[in-house]
Structure 1
């Protein structure tokens, strides 16, 4: 079936009587409850569960290889290819399947807060709660947009459609397929709402660099003086928590872009991890979860419907989705100037990286390309405890292009706008996972505050003998012994062993970046095994 007929089939589906367009939040909540898709919490949020799929399924994600994408995409284990015929055949089957559903729900809006660079999108959902999720995560239409909006990318989400791998060419019953030629994202077999959000981020990571705009997996906020901070890091490293600062205005919590005019949010909402969430530790996030919000896989008390954020019986990857407007201290629209400070967040499960260190430009490029962190429980299927991993640019699962393309753009912008860069470990201290403990959040906040306020610029530093990182000797609000990780371990010799093991992993991982300059290669760990 040709691309033109495929688009015609989509338009026919959207014209069906059972398709509900642009429902309001109250209308969607009513639909969700009447269809038994979710439960109302004591604060009026919707709670829904996702069955077997409580995280992303990277092995089920594909990009269609065609004449448009073949020479641009960095093909491999992350960007798995699928041929166009396989995609078109499955797309046709999914649309036929959706024609027989009782109701479908369509959201139209945008990805990208800067009107000069935004992408008009539409999301077609089988589930009403997924449509509410989409409405809260992306940027809705305003009155003047309604007549002009014409979707340039469409997400088709059919969770109850199960693929047959032998027939449909998938790896399992679940699939997430992106066709840049047909401008379609096709999702089936999984009820995890995060696939909708991340698929559009992958699309923006493909399209924006072609306009000389750097897409970034980071949160961002603005200080009282207009200074901008970026927080890079994979899921679970603290992007959302640390950017939700009462003393600074939030631009966004996860996905941004950096143009020649400054930074803008790609999304219109937040998708916060809420494991162990409390009002005392994260008041902004806690207070944002009320009517219109979506709680994903959070367990409720049976009688009171009060969320139990400490309950991990469904998954550790419990989530809250809510619009930016649920946070009081935000930037509207989600646009700001160029970053003064860039912070790389890592959750080091070995407990050997310092809690904060200042990076030279070469070290910044090395650690950006390395993207070291620990894959935390629940963010992907099958991950039940932290695992050391290297994810280029702190977001390789969402990068269709080669990591060097994004790294080179970041390096140019650091140079052009004189951004200061820090590496912050939000992981373990005093020992590895299982022996040490997670870094005290109040200490991390104090260190980041000091970095943003310039309080670490003139502080004496100590150079770590293994990693070559420059560690501040003092930081307001943080015990000095916490700053030097070796001093927090009961057995310093065990620390030395683990540190050298991690350094060797850094060197081994970086061998694949053959095109990196000698200055960047030499900016890694000093220790050579």
Structure 2
């Protein structure tokens, strides 16, 4: 019997063991969370759990097993760190033995992908009941009929209280998130942060979907009343969730999507929203979605009233809420739609030099997709004392197992094939850099995005930005004309051009990490300096 067959037998023994609970209902899982004292019940009926010292992902502890079938496919480097099959097999055996001795473990069988033609059956095995409840909220839930034929193609095994010994187990620390594509397994240990479960499956889908000629995307998506589809790409703090939650458009999904030959589909069955400073006034859809069955992560809750204090960041800025997408009223069911008509790249430029909206050519779209630019603000991280340019390839570099150019080239082909309009929208600063200027008014951004989605900018008159080569509309209803031209909002235009050139240089320096990209994309898509 070879190692794969042994591994399969070990897994079957675990999931068929007497301690394994399969696809428990939400009420029973909530009861388990409370009786096992894994979390508390809040005033809205949501469960709240804390995750100890790990309140976010641990990218330094994430690995991909170097195997014969993946060795030449993975884009190895800082993001995709290799680990040996021997290390994986030893940890796999240890974790399964550890879980086998537990009084209870929890198994969820569901899917990644709302499109039944391409969805991937998955299995999630959890040490914690609240992690299993989280999995039910985030992934696509099966029907009773589905469960009769469900055969998992990928399994996530999460054992937070199993801690690795780096000297013995070959890891960097006690924590590990390891993907084996040949074993079709994700192994997680040493961290209670539930987001590792969600994002590990996204990483898997970013590997398997392109093999089927499906573009996997870290974006939100919605659909208009006429069936027109829009995608919103953007890093944290750029407004991706806020702008895609439009009362006049139905939500397809808020974070992960695939784009197949049929159109767009949500990879998930739920939402994982940041909820720091959340209020009903600012984000009514998210606020009201946090109800019975939902999971709050690292949110401070009043001991007596059990009311969540979303303004309290004493545990972390990265407070989260996980809930089923059905908890939002204005959604499309199932979470699939046609081909996109419009793509919006969102950036929060703290240098205040990028236009608030600009039309992109295909080459510019590929350039800015590969760049994935936004800004880190002073005070958000230790050592950040002034705005810093940050670039996350394809707006999701931590989750891309393949070379970034594969995703960008696929995007370029789809833009051509479906004649998609692409816009770069700056939700950051205007009238000066951070500390001098002010944040772009949300009402202006909404007006600009609405004009883009409704096709008003397709043939609009534009003027070209000298430094970035971007075509800027000269008039949009509801937005002062001067606001559209960033240089005009600065008190000293010569200072604007100095700052704009500084940012342009950063773009060019960052783009050096793509030596194999065609010169056409670099010359026609990037800054003109």
Quickly name the TM-score band, shorter chain normalised. Answer: over 0.9
Runs of 5+ consecutive residues of structure 1 not aligned to the other structure: none
Distance 1:331 1:238 in 2: 21
Matched residue, 1:326:
327
Q: Where do residues 102-117 of structure 1 align in structure 2 (5 Å cutoff)?
A: 102-117=103-118
Distance in 1, matches of 2:383 and 2:87, equals 27
Q: Is the 8 A contact 1:56 1:380 kept in 2?
A: no
- TM-score normalised according to structure 1 size: 0.95
Deviation at 1:174, TM superposition (A): 1.1
User: Alignment partner of 2:14: what SS?
Assistant: helix
Paired position in structure 2 for 1:443 = 444
> Structure 1 pair 475/522, CA: closer, same or farther in 2 (3 Å)?
same
- How many angstroms apart in 2 are the aligned matches of 1:264 and 1:307? 32
Q: How does 1:383-462 map to 2 (within 5 A)?
A: 387-462=388-463
Match of 1:299 in 2: 300
Distance verdict in 2 for CA 1:141–1:303, change over 3 Å: same
Partner of residue 316, structure 1: 317
Distance 1:221 1:176 in 2: 32
CA contact (8 A) 1:370 1:509 kept: yes
Partners of 2:409 and 2:216 in 1: how far apart? 12
User: Distance in 2 between the 1:35 and 1:386 partners?
Assistant: 44
Judge conservation of contact 1:37–1:48 (CA < 8 Å) in 2: yes
Gap change, CA 1:92 and 1:519, over 3 Å in 2: same
SS at match of 2:282: coil
| Counterpart contact for 2:350–2:377, Cα < 8 Å | no
- Once the 2 structures are TM-superposed, how far is the Cα of residue 396 of structure 1 from its aligned partner? 1.3
Aligned to 1:273: 274
Describe the SS at the equivalent of 1:129: helix
Q: CA RMSD in A?
A: 2.0
Q: 2: distance between equivalents of 1:63 and 1:302?
A: 42
Partner residue in 2 for 1:74: 75
Residue 388 of structure 1: SS of its match in structure 2? Answer: strand
Change (3 A) 1:38 1:255: same
| Number of residue equivalences | 528
Deviation at 1:446, TM superposition (A): 1.7
2:148 corresponding residue in structure 1: 147
The structural deviation recorded for 1:235 is: 3.2
My pick for the range that moved more, 409-418 or 285-294, is 285-294
Is 1:86 aligned with 2:79? no
Distance 1:31-1:432 versus aligned 2 partners, 3 A rule: farther
Deviations 1:415-463 (A, max 9, x none): 0000000011223333334444433322222211111011222332222
Q: Supply the distance in 2 between the matched residues of 1:316 and 1:434 (Cα, whole angstroms).
A: 21
Contact 1:61/1:175, CA 8 A, preserved across alignment:
yes
Q: Secondary structure at the match of 2:242?
A: helix
Give the distance between the partners of 1:50 and 1:435, measured in 2 at CA: 38
Written as runs of structure 1 = structure 2, the 5 A alignment for 1:332-411 is: 332-374=333-375, 387-411=388-412
If the length of structure 2 is used for normalisation, what is the TM-score? Answer: 0.95
| Alpha-carbon spacing, 1:385–1:181, altered in 2? closer, same or farther (3 Å) | farther
Partner of 1:121: 122
SS of 2:211's partner is helix
Alpha-carbon distance, 1:316 to partner: 1.3
Q: 2:486 & 2:55 partners in 1: Cα distance? A: 34
Instruction: Quote the residue 1:179 is aligned against.
Output: 180
Distance 2:187 2:481 in 1: 51
The answer to whether structure 1 residue 157 and structure 2 residue 158 are counterparts is yes
Distance 2:387 2:88 in 1: 34
Distance 1:184 1:379, change over 3 A: farther
Using a 3 Å threshold, how does the CA distance of structure 1 residues 438 and 262 change in structure 2: closer, same or farther? same
Deviations 1:103-136, CA, capped at 9 Å, x for gaps: 2111100001111111000001111111111001
* Aligned partners of 1:316 and 1:377 also within 8 Å: no
Tell me, in whole angstroms, the C-alpha distance in 2 between the residues paired with 1:62 and 1:425.
34
Segments of 5+ residues of structure 2 without an aligned counterpart are: none
Within 2, Cα distance between the matches of 1:384 and 1:46? 36
- Contact in 2 for aligned 1:133/1:193 (Cα 8 Å): yes
Tell me whether 1:13 sits opposite 2:25 in the alignment.
no
Is this contact kept in 1: 2:508–2:527, CA < 8 A? Answer: no
Task: Say yes or no: does 1:206 pair with 2:207.
Answer: yes
